[in-house]
Each structure stands twice: as C-alpha cells, then as structure tokens.
A and B are shown apart, each in its own frame.
Chain A
Amino acid sequence: MSNSLHNVIAQVEQVILGKPHQIRLALACLLARGHLLIEDLPGVGKTTLAHALARSLGLQFQRIQFTSDMLPADILGVSIFQRDSNEFKFHPGPIFAQMILADEVNRAMPKTQSALLEAMEEQQVTMEGVTRALPSPFFVIATQNPTYQIGTFPLPESQLDRFLMRIQLGYPDAQAERGLLAGVERREIVAKLTPQMEAAELLALQQQVRQVFVSPALLDYVQAIVRHTRESARYVHGLSPRAGLSLLAAARAWSLLDKRAAVIPEDVQAVLPGVASHRLQSVQDVQRQDGDKLARELIEAVAIP
C-alpha cells in the first residue's frame, strides 16, 4: 500500500487533534467509495476535517452551506439564457467537484436535500433532459447538527442509508484541547497543507480495496451480525442488505489502511459503529441519539464464529 495514504493520515492528524480513529474512519469511507455523514455540535471541527482531507488528498473542494431557503438549483447548477448566442448555457453548481462539504445538510428543505442525495447516489446530475456526470472520485462529506436543535429537517431513514458511515467527532480530550488552544489557528494550518496524492492514485486505492480478501469465516461473522439485528427485539429494523454490503466494503478499506490483504473480525468491529449507528434504531429511542451505544452492544452480542 502506498505510503502517501499514511502521509495523508499524518497530515490530517496535525490539524484535527486527538481524533485518529475518526480520521481513519473518514478515509476508510472514502476508500470504500462511500459518503460520510458527520453529526455533531457546531464548532467541533467538522468543516476543518473535511477541508484538511480534501487538501491532503489533492481533490477539488467545494463547500456548500445549506440553509432553509436553499433550492436544488443552488446545488446542481442552472441554465441561463445567453442573449448573444441565443441559447441556454448550463452553469454547473457547486456539486461539480471531487469533494463536497455539505455543511448543515439538515437545515435545508427536504426537496433540496433529496437533490443532493440523488446526485450522491447516481454520481451524475440530470437537468432538463441532459445527464452530466460528476467528477471522479466523488466524495460527499455532509455534516448535520443534532436533530433536536431548532430549525432542522431531519434526514429520512431512506436517505440516511445512502451514507456509508456516520461518525461523531465529540469534544477533544484535555490534551488535544490544550494543543488546540495553544497552537496556531487551524485555518492557517489547513491553508498550508500540501496534497499528498493525486486523484488517480486515490482511484487505484479504491480499486485495491475491492480486492482485499474476505474469507468464508468472515462472511459468517458479517452474516451473524446482520442476522442478529434482524432477529433481536432490541431494534426497530434490522440492517438492510445494503448495510451488510457497506459493512463489508468499509471493513475491507479499514483492512487496507492497516496494510493487510485480508479482513479480520477486528476490522468489522472497528467500522461497525460508523456503518451501523445511523441505520439502527432502538425501540426505546425515537430520537436516534444512542446509535453508537447500540452498535457497541451489537458487537458484544454477536460471537465471532
């Protein structure tokens, strides 16, 4: 595996202090061709993480700040009539970039949200009968504020499922906080970051992830996990087949980050909270606040076969 991947990790760790696990999860999500949802309070470094990742990976970066009055055209782009050439010309929206930071995605109206999510899913934009491919690689990091905050339109379950992972950053620990407070301003550091790899290299790595070996014994384990969520009375719904596929893809990417050629149960366990927490809902919890706890319980409930 290329060292540049580790340079990327090292570089991002300089910016986001004390969160190596979340950084690796974000990278794994990217390598598994998934999209990432970061859910946390404002000001814990969601935007900085996305920014640092984009710069380190050498991707075109676009930030879209979602607001409640935003329309789909604000994301996808708009065709404007050109008086001199007497025809409509398409002005691509901010979504035509390799890495999108969709900030506070749950503040937009459902109509706008679904425009973004459709583009994420299809990797293309269709407007006025013309289909335009999005760039490759294409990676969306969406952030959302906790759903109980005012002025939010929570993402429906079907749309949550389109994110490969949901992670939470949380407050930094004391040591990291001290480093943050004592150090230079994050924005300056991000501005100075240099790309550690090219887009082509990232695509090659994404290809490599698909070739990480998965043994029958490991498939047994993934199946046992999925089966448990479906059979247990603890959850409103079990994990979907797509969730199972996502879990496997993320575990493969995690294993690649660990420089291994085969997936082991620990890989699955490492990515499971990220992959499953936004897909699982406890029967006691309507607010979906304890996804992480549920995922940890899930790990402990399923024996490794």
Chain B
Amino acid sequence: MNLPSTLIYGLLLCVLMVCAPHAAHLPSWVSVESAALLGWCAYLTRNKLALPARWLLGALMLGDVIGILASFHTLFGRDASTTLLILLTAFKQLEVRNLRDATMTIYLACFIIVTNFFYTQTIAAALYMLATLLLIVTVWLHLHGDTLPLKARLRLAAIMLMQAVPLMLVLFILFPRVQGPLWGLPQDAYGSSGLSDTMSPGSLSKLSLSDAVAFRVTFNGEPPRHTQMYWRGPVLWKFDGKTWQAGRATSAQAPQLDSLDSASDYTVTLEPHNKTWLFTLDMPTSISIPAQLTYDFQMVRTAPVNARLRYNAHSQLGYRANADEDPRQLQRALNLPPNLNPRARQLAAEWRARLPGDVAVVNAALEHFRREDFHYTLEPPALGSNEVDDFLFGTRHGFCEHYASSFVFLMRAAGIPARVVTGYQGGEYNDLGGYYIVRQSDAHAWAEVWLKERGWVRIDPTAAIAPARVQSGLVAAMPDSAALPFLARMQSPLLLKLRFDLDALAFQWNQWVLSYDPERQFALLTRLGMESVSLQQMALDMMLGLALLVGLYTLFMLRRLQVRDSDAVQRLYLRFCRKLEKTGIARAAHEGPRDFAMRAAQAQPQQAAAITDITARYMALRYGKAPDPMALQVLRRMVAAFRL
C-alpha cells in the first residue's frame, strides 16, 4: 500500500464519524458489521498486512445486500438506501489502495453527511456535522500530499470552511425555493406524534408525557389570559361507549359566529403532525393560508401538515356560536350508545327532573365533580365496559379525557346537546423569543354544550376538579409530578432559563433555517430591497453572487501568491519602515535597506543601534542563505518593540 497509514486512519475516522449518528436507526447488525469492517481495515493497516481479495469482499457484499433485502424488503427508499450506502462505504475502506480510492472515500463521507439530515435537522446535529466536515477537509488536505503538521492542517481546513461560509450564505439565501419539498421524502420522514382524531381513555394522558413541541404562537397585540387559551383541534361527536370520533356531519350549514368580546390576532408555527387540522384559538374567524372552517369551527386543510407550517389567524374570544344550529346536528349531539352506563343515565335523569333548566343541569354536573371525591391524575386506573359508570361511581381518578367524556355523556343523557373538543390548553411563555410554546403535554379535552340563545358554550369539567390546570398549566395541577415529562418538571430558575434560551434558539433555527421557504425568502429579499424578484432573477443573482465571491477569492489568492516569498519578512520590514516614516524618514522605493538604515541612523542617532540591528536581520532573512528559522521570530519581536 502506498498511502501512509496516518492517512488511512484519518479516512477511517471520517467514515466512523459520519456513520455514527446513523447507528440510532440502522439495524443493529449493520452497525456492528460496519464497525467491524472499519476495525478490520485499521488492523490490516497497523500490521501492514495485505488488503483482502476482491472476491472475498464481493461475496461478503452480496451477503449484505441479501441481509438488507431481508431487513427492509427493498433496496430503495430512505432507510434501505442509506444502509446500503454505509455498508458499501465501509467495504470501500478495505480496497483503498491509491489516491483515487481515498478521494472516493472523502466524497462518500461528504455524501453520508447529507443523509444524516434525512433523520434529524436539529442544531446539535448540524454542529456535529460541521465538526465532521472539518475532519473530512483536514484528511482531504492530507490526501493532497500536504506535509503540514496536524494542527496547522486543522487550521487550514477551518480557514477553508470559513471561506466557504459566504458562498453558503449566498446559496442559502438566494437559491430559488419552491413550495413544498423539492423531492418527495417517504412518509416515515415525518413524525406523527400529536392529537389523533379519536379520543379514548388514556389517549391524552399518554400524549401528556411528551415534551415535544406542538406549535409556537406569537400574539400580535395583547395575549389572552391563560384560561382563555383553548387551542381548538378535532371536535368529536360520536361515542360508541369507549371511543369518541368525529362522526359524519348531517348538515352542511355554514358556521355562524356573533362576536361579543375581544378578538385576538396571532401567528402559529405548527410542527408537522401529519394531520389536516390546524390549531386556532376558540373560535377562529379567519386564517392566512388556504383552509376551510368547518361547521363545528375546525380549521382544516386539504393536505396533511407534513412540513413546518406558519399561519396567521384571527379568533373571537367571546362569541355566540351557531345559536341557530341545525336540528339534525343537535340530534347528533344527543346520540348515546344504547344500554351502556345505566347509573350515569339515571343520575342525569334525576337532575333533569329536579332542576328547572339546561344551565342548572350543567352547573349541577360541574358541582358534582367539584363536590364529590374526584381526582385529577395522569395515571388513571383501568375501566370496565361501562366506562362512564365505572369512572363516575368507581375509580373517580381520571385525566381530562375522562372528565370531558363523562361530562358530555351526562349532558346528552340529560337531553342537552353536547360534544367533545380536543386540542391544547395554555402554553408557556418564552420571554426571550416573545412567543408561547405549546407542547404535547398541553394536550387537553373539554366539552361544548348547546344552550338556547347562547349557542355552543365551552364547558371545561377539568377546571372544576383541578382549576390550576387551566389557570397555570399541567405542572401546577399535578400534586405528584413524578410522571410528568422531565422538561415540564424543571422548576429551578436557572434550568428554566436555560430551557427557554435553548428553545428560543431552536425557534430561530426553525424560523430561519429549516423553514426558510418561498414566503420567508420573499420577505427577506423584500427587506433587503430586492422586491418581487422572479425565480430566474433570483437564480441569476445567485450566480452573480457566487461569481463575485469566487472572483474576490481569486484576486486575494493571486495577490498572496505574488508576495508569498517575501510575505512575513517583507511585511515586518515594511512595518518597520512605516514606523520610521511617521518621524519623517521615508524610504524611497529604490532605496536599499542598508542605505536606508544608514540614513535613518543618522537622522535618529539614539535609535541607530536598533535600526542597524533590525536591518541586518532583515537583510539576512531576505537576502541571506538558509536563514535561521528562529530569526523571523526575533525580527518580529524587535520590530514590535521598535519605538521612536
């Protein structure tokens, strides 16, 4: 092998570093095998052994292809292709014989960096990839016969990367963006944690264990009170005794809203959740992106949200909603599964008989929750087939879905139209970023009842049991917070601040890097004074910017080449001359250093010794044979110390 072993180790380290993040999702046999292949190569290099025969590698590779087929049932798609690429790269190390092979490895490593971003796009991941890229460039420099020591090579690589930053910015800012992903990523690229369109006991409490951000909100103006922040999601009508579902609408009546109270205007940055609905405050009136407001006041898009989405929305905080509801809809809101939960029906019938109106029944139910020994908990006990009965008269420990579900059941049993609304409640203010974060742990379910003259009215039975949940959030409502997610439990001010800082950073990263879409690009370019540029113009500007930068670099480098030989020594001498020039002793361009020194020494007799000494050292360095490597340091010190 004619490549130095340090270079081989460098290549192996590059491959290891770019592949390491993939270990989290690769089949374990692939990780183990890749590591083993790299280790094998390191062993062969260390002991100066011959590389394995090609037929052996070919046979092993064939086995791996079969293995990948067995694991993924395909060779295509994100996961299988990445796996194949990583294995091939690891194999390639065992046949790196010459410069060409080594260069190939470098390119492969660069490509694998990109594949990492299929899986994660966090700041931490980006920083890690940057470090990896630095390593790759360093090894690359080594590859080109550079005899620099490692430290100097790292430095050079860092300089090269920094020189690439302006190019990267030009490309990033001006590369024409198109709406939607440039090429379709497989569906599994999108996380799909979040609210679902059904609700059953335990579904929301499970979601509450997640720290993941659901969306972020910036209010344009005064934010509403915490108790008013009901982020409306799917509305559920149909109950089968266990699960709540949206059901099918029986009316196409458009929603009607009479506003009574203050309005709110805000911008939501929604994380992809792979569903069609968009979250808005109760009750939404308009939205900035194409979406439809359904008869039960949901904002729904036609396509699922599979990329981060920003929209501006407007809501009425005080309202009268659908006061003239379609009777068929009201009938839907009274349907109950037959023969289930007899005790609850009986309780509701009792209230109906005893109490004068709908409002009194609602209050009685809330009073019931408040008075009796109900508990708000994330870990409710299991329920039997008559879930509502079991909960109301048995366990009495439940999460918001239990309260919402049993409340709506009671209302319907008492003849009051009612439905379940799921969504999020509250939000956490980040004062650094000036926005609210709504996490999955803020997932919530509440009820709406239809009252004559008043339309649909929001009733949150959870508020009756645990008012703190609605007033200050989940943490405050949980006496025993052991089961809460880690982030939600952090109460130390320092940790809390750190958490907000990090989130603010992530917010900016999302806003400006990950979701730098046509809209933001347009906004930025407008702010930069390039109004309404066409895609062609943008592409042209990008090319121009790149050409300009490359041209500048070229000029700079040519200049450096010209003064390369003299560079350091000559610069020092010129600095020395400038110092003398300030006192009026200017060197003529054609004046030799010795002549100048004599003249300067005459003009500045008290500095004569220093002038002569510096000049002698300069002449030795510039015109002498094989100058002492330390002499430059000495000259630098002397010139720095030279004062007049």
Please list the residues of chain A having a beta carbon within 8 angstroms of any beta carbon in chain B.
213, 215-218, 220, 261-266, 269, 299-305
Q: Which of B344-352, B399-407, B473-481, B589-597 is the contact stretch?
A: B589-597
Contact B589 A304 (CB under 8 A): yes
User: Which 5 pairs between the two chains have the least Cβ-Cβ distance?
Assistant: A303-B589, A213-B625, A266-B592, A265-B592, A215-B623
Q: Which residues of B contact A264 (CB under 8 A)?
A: 592-594, 619, 623
B566 at interface, CB cutoff 8 A: yes
Q: How far is the CB of B576 from chain A (nearest CB, A)?
A: 14
Q: Which residues of A contact B595 (CB under 8 A)?
A: 266
B565 at interface, CB cutoff 8 A: yes
Contact B623 A263 (CB under 8 A): yes
Residue from B589, B592, B593, B624 within 8 A of A262 (CB atoms): B624
Contact B592 A269 (CB under 8 A): yes
Q: How far is the CB of B558 from chain A (nearest CB, A)?
A: 16
Name which residue of chain B comes closest to A213, CB basis. Answer: B625
Contact A217 B622 (CB under 8 A): yes
Residue from A217, A261, A299, A300 within 8 A of B566 (CB atoms): A217
Contact B624 A304 (CB under 8 A): no
Contact A299 B590 (CB under 8 A): yes
Name which residue of chain B comes closest to A300, CB basis. Answer: B590
Name which residue of chain B comes closest to A265, CB basis. Answer: B592
Name which residue of chain A comes closest to B620, CB basis. Answer: A262
Q: How far is the CB of B500 from chain A (nearest CB, A)?
A: 59
1/0 per residue, CB under 8 A from A, across B587-620: the answer is 0111111110000000000000000000000011
Contact B565 A217 (CB under 8 A): yes
Q: How far is the CB of A150 from chain B (nearest CB, A)?
A: 40
Contact A302 B624 (CB under 8 A): no
* Complexed CA–CA distance, A300 and B589 (Å): 8
Residue from A213, A217, A303 within 8 A of B590 (CB atoms): A303
Contact A305 B592 (CB under 8 A): no
* Complexed CA–CA distance, A269 and B589 (Å): 13
Q: How far is the CB of A216 from chain B (nearest CB, A)?
A: 5
* Complexed CA–CA distance, A264 and B591 (Å): 11
Q: How far is the CB of B571 from chain A (nearest CB, A)?
A: 13
Show 26 A/B contacts (Cβ-Cβ < 8 Å), sorted by A: A213-B624, A215-B622, A215-B623, A215-B625, A217-B566, A217-B570, A217-B622, A218-B623, A261-B625, A262-B620, A264-B592, A264-B619, A264-B623, A265-B592, A265-B593, A265-B623, A266-B595, A269-B592, A300-B588, A301-B590, A303-B589, A304-B589, A304-B590, A304-B591, A304-B592, A305-B566
* Complexed CA–CA distance, A299 and B595 (Å): 13
Please list the residues of chain B having a beta carbon within 8 angstroms of any beta carbon in chain A.
565-566, 570, 588-595, 619-620, 622-625
Name which residue of chain B comes closest to A266, CB basis. Answer: B592
Contact A262 B623 (CB under 8 A): yes
Q: How far is the CB of A187 from chain B (nearest CB, A)?
A: 38
* Complexed CA–CA distance, A218 and B592 (Å): 11
Contact A302 B590 (CB under 8 A): yes
Name which residue of chain B comes closest to A214, CB basis. Answer: B623
Q: Which residues of B contact A300 (CB under 8 A)?
A: 588, 590
Q: Which residues of B contact A305 (CB under 8 A)?
A: 566
* Complexed CA–CA distance, A39 and B562 (Å): 41
Given contacts A262-B623, A262-B625, is CB(A216)–CB(B592) below 8 Å?
Answer: no
* Complexed CA–CA distance, A150 and B549 (Å): 69
Known: A300-B588, A304-B593, A305-B566. 8 other contacts (CB 8 A): A215-B623, A217-B623, A218-B623, A261-B624, A262-B619, A262-B624, A265-B593, A299-B590
* Complexed CA–CA distance, A261 and B589 (Å): 24
* Complexed CA–CA distance, A61 and B623 (Å): 38
Q: How far is the CB of A168 from chain B (nearest CB, A)?
A: 22
Contact B591 A215 (CB under 8 A): no
Q: Which residues of B contact A266 (CB under 8 A)?
A: 592-595
Q: Which residues of A contact B588 (CB under 8 A)?
A: 300
Q: Which residues of B contact A218 (CB under 8 A)?
A: 623
Q: Which residues of B contact A301 (CB under 8 A)?
A: 590
Q: Which residues of A contact B570 (CB under 8 A)?
A: 217
Q: Which residues of A contact B625 (CB under 8 A)?
A: 213, 215, 261-262
Contact A215 B624 (CB under 8 A): yes
* Complexed CA–CA distance, A269 and B623 (Å): 15
Of listed B590, B593, B625, residue having the most chain A CB within 10 A:
B590
Q: How far is the CB of B561 from chain A (nearest CB, A)?
A: 13
Q: Which residues of A contact B623 (CB under 8 A)?
A: 213, 215, 217-218, 262-265
Q: Which residues of B contact A304 (CB under 8 A)?
A: 589-593
Q: Which residues of A contact B593 (CB under 8 A)?
A: 264-266, 304
Of listed A218, A220, A265, residue having the most chain B CB within 10 A:
A265
Q: How far is the CB of A186 from chain B (nearest CB, A)?
A: 33
